[in-house]
Chains A and B, each alone.
Chain A
Amino acid sequence: MMNVITNNTIQCTVALAGLQNIMDPEIGLNIVDLGLIYQLDFDESEKKIYCSMTLTTQFCPMGESITNAVQENLKLSFPEYEPVIELIFDPPWNHEMISAEGRKYLNEQ
């Protein structure tokens, strides 16, 4: 969670807390602690939420479901904003992007 770049608004904190409810179904860890969310910005003038994220692997069979879930989750949390999701694979996801909490969880599982 600490690695996500945000424009430091309270909304970002709330949004990330909401996104922590989305689990990677194979790994069983939420996508924020897994390190899939790279950047989250609220644009007050355009009323948009820009979310830059990745997947553990490009063409991940669950990719569409995960991005749909992020879209829906942000819409539900902030109905007055339009979520804009961008999938990026540079840099590609790797295990070092898992947060300390995420590692602890996977170790204890």
Chain B
Amino acid sequence: MFSTAGNTETTKTTSWKVVLPFYGYAAIAFLIATILLLLSASDITSHYFLPHTLAITHIMALGWCTMMILGASHQLVPVLIEGKLYSNKLAYASFTLAAIGIPLLIYGFYFFDMGLYTQCGGILIILAIITYLINLAISMAKSKQENVHAFFIFTAALWLLATAIVGLLVLCNFTEPLLPKDSLDYLPLHAHIGIVGWFLLLVMGVGSRLIPMFLISKYSNMQLLWWIYGLINAGLLAFVFIFLYAASKFLFSIPLLAVAASIVLFANFCLKSYRQRIRKKVDEQMKVSLLSVLMMMLPLIILVIIIALLILSPKENVNLIITYGFIIFFGWITAIILGMTFKTLPFIVWNKVYHRLAGKGKTPNPKDLFSNRIFKWMSVFYILGFVLFTTGILLHSAIVLQIASTLLLLTSLLYNWNVIKLLMHKPASYDECNYK
């Protein structure tokens, strides 16, 4: 029954060396995005298809949100699939390809140069996603367990690949006509398979595992999670079909209803997990993450209004579309990341620095490795900045947008402060730890 050395090897988690570069990269990307937002705040309401707006959107979507999710995913995949990550080398390759590809793409968008370098950026990002998918697929194949969370992650990564391929086609279509319509016409397809297929599906897959786990909830409902999974994917497939082959805008209500139903069901899942929690105290990081679940409803409401207005009149409401995009990237997804960074990163850093000291002496708590006071201020600036910026877009007010983007820049500075504090953390007595 017992092994002499202990059989703890089978539960080894992903190395911090794989994960931390993603976290660091994402933090810098968030800072750059908020600097560019401040610089472009006054003209952001002109149109959503402007070089600076495109650049900011892609820094947020790829540099901030996707890099952070990929990093956290490499750490969490073993927990979610109940098996080891197949290859650290593939994870490094995925990081390197994306880390080079993203700036090339952003540079192209910012200066509206859709030429070779920008296209190379797009290709590198696709290669990064394929590398990630291979790593994920082999990890899942080697795992003995099959669970709904693993399906969420893998399918989300497939949708990310589809998003990137459509994005590259749209990009190349500017210089060489590859698609039957203008590039601009394909933006809703590119955006929605990315937002719903990649971000929503992945957040739900990971959230449905982590939220009950962190709350120590008695609630569990795998059947409901399969329903959510089915609704989102059916909705997305219907959306792609309607977008490519149907002319009626009214038909878009079908995928919208499917995705709306999945969000309501997921919110209900989180609410029941919260109500049936054993651990009564909910920390600040979980509060921000739970807030992001509520924030999923906001873009949905705006999308309903956008579609309703499009059915009534063919002229699109640019302000609402910009608000919709802002709420998704700076609202919903950013709120999750701001909360979840400080639920995961302190533990990764703690493991890096103290795991060999465990049981040998007093070590600090992972929660003490960053400043909770800075975290609280970051949350205050973030909520104020987010609400004000949304108001600024809707009111077309340059001064409100300037104030709000300054608050969001402060948010990213405080976020980076805490991330740097964590990444640079060293034990009181350096010699006691073996970093190798």
A complexed with B: yes
CB–CB A64/B2 < 8 A:
no
Contacts A/B (CB < 8 Å), 14 sampled? A59-B11, A61-B348, A64-B13, A64-B355, A65-B350, A68-B356, A85-B8, A86-B2, A86-B3, A87-B8, A87-B10, A95-B278, A98-B278, A106-B279
Alpha-carbon distance between A58 and B7 when the two chains are bound, in angstroms = 12
Enumerate chain A interface residues (CB-CB to B < 8 A).
22-23, 25-28, 50, 52, 55-73, 76, 84-87, 95, 98, 103, 106-109
Q: Which residues of B contact A67 (CB under 8 A)?
A: 6, 8
CB–CB B359/A68 < 8 A:
yes
A-facing residues in B82-98 (Cβ within 8 Å): 82-84
A-facing residues in B344-387 (Cβ within 8 Å): 344, 347-348, 350-351, 354-356, 358-360, 365-367
Asked, given contacts A57-B213, A59-B13, A86-B2, whether A64 binds B281 with beta carbons under 8 Å apart, the answer is no
Q: Which residues of B contact A27 (CB under 8 A)?
A: 216, 279
CB–CB A73/B213 < 8 A:
no
CB–CB B2/A50 < 8 A:
yes
CB–CB A55/B347 < 8 A:
no
CB of B291 to closest CB in A, whole Å = 20
CB–CB A71/B6 < 8 A:
yes
Enumerate chain B interface residues (CB-CB to A < 8 A).
1-4, 6-8, 10-13, 75, 78-79, 82-84, 213-214, 216-218, 278-281, 344, 347-348, 350-351, 354-356, 358-360, 365-367
Q: Which residues of A contact B347 (CB under 8 A)?
A: 25-26, 61-62
Q: Which residues of B contact A23 (CB under 8 A)?
A: 365
- Nearest CB to that of B343 among chain A residues? A26
Beyond A59-B83, A85-B8, 6 extra complex contacts between A and B, CB < 8 Å: A22-B359, A61-B79, A62-B350, A66-B358, A84-B6, A85-B6
CB–CB B79/A57 < 8 A:
yes
Selected contact of A109 from candidates B4, B6, B75, B281, CB within 8 Å: B281
Selected contact of B7 from candidates A55, A69, A87, A109, CB within 8 Å: A87
Q: Which residues of B contact A85 (CB under 8 A)?
A: 6, 8
CB of A40 to closest CB in B, whole Å = 12
Q: Which residues of B contact A86 (CB under 8 A)?
A: 1-3, 6-7
CB–CB A61/B13 < 8 A:
yes
CB of A34 to closest CB in B, whole Å = 9
Task: Specify the main secondary structure of chain A where it touches its partner.
Answer: mixed
CB–CB A65/B11 < 8 A:
no
CB–CB A68/B358 < 8 A:
yes
CB of B40 to closest CB in A, whole Å = 39
CB of A109 to closest CB in B, whole Å = 4
Q: Which residues of A contact B360 (CB under 8 A)?
A: 72
Selected contact of B84 from candidates A59, A103, A107, CB within 8 Å: A59
Total contacts A to B, CB within 8 angstroms?
A: 112
CB–CB A95/B12 < 8 A:
no
CB–CB B218/A95 < 8 A:
yes
Interface hub of A26, A67, A76 (most chain B Cβ within 10 A): A26
CB of B296 to closest CB in A, whole Å = 25
CB of B214 to closest CB in A, whole Å = 7
Q: Which residues of A contact B279 (CB under 8 A)?
A: 27, 106, 109
Alpha-carbon distance between A52 and B214 when the two chains are bound, in angstroms = 24
CB of B323 to closest CB in A, whole Å = 36
Q: Which residues of A contact B216 (CB under 8 A)?
A: 27, 95, 98, 106
CB–CB B355/A65 < 8 A:
yes
- Going nearest first, the 4 A-B pairs with the smallest beta carbon separation are A72-B359, A69-B359, A59-B78, A85-B6
CB–CB B359/A64 < 8 A:
no
- Nearest CB to that of B6 among chain A residues? A85
Asked, given contacts A59-B78, A65-B355, A87-B8, whether A25 binds B350 with beta carbons under 8 Å apart, the answer is yes
Selected contact of A65 from candidates B4, B83, B358, CB within 8 Å: B358
CB–CB A107/B11 < 8 A:
no
CB–CB B354/A65 < 8 A:
yes
CB of A37 to closest CB in B, whole Å = 14
Q: Which residues of A contact B84 (CB under 8 A)?
A: 59
Alpha-carbon distance between A61 and B348 when the two chains are bound, in angstroms = 7
Alpha-carbon distance between A72 and B359 when the two chains are bound, in angstroms = 5
CB of A65 to closest CB in B, whole Å = 4
Alpha-carbon distance between A67 and B80 when the two chains are bound, in angstroms = 21
Alpha-carbon distance between A56 and B347 when the two chains are bound, in angstroms = 15
Alpha-carbon distance between A68 and B265 when the two chains are bound, in angstroms = 40
Q: Which residues of A contact B79 (CB under 8 A)?
A: 57-61
Q: Which residues of B contact A56 (CB under 8 A)?
A: 213
- Nearest CB to that of B279 among chain A residues? A106
Selected contact of B351 from candidates A55, A65, A95, CB within 8 Å: A65
CB of B272 to closest CB in A, whole Å = 14
- Nearest CB to that of A61 among chain B residues? B13
Alpha-carbon distance between A22 and B344 when the two chains are bound, in angstroms = 20
Alpha-carbon distance between A26 and B2 when the two chains are bound, in angstroms = 28
Q: Which residues of A contact B78 (CB under 8 A)?
A: 59
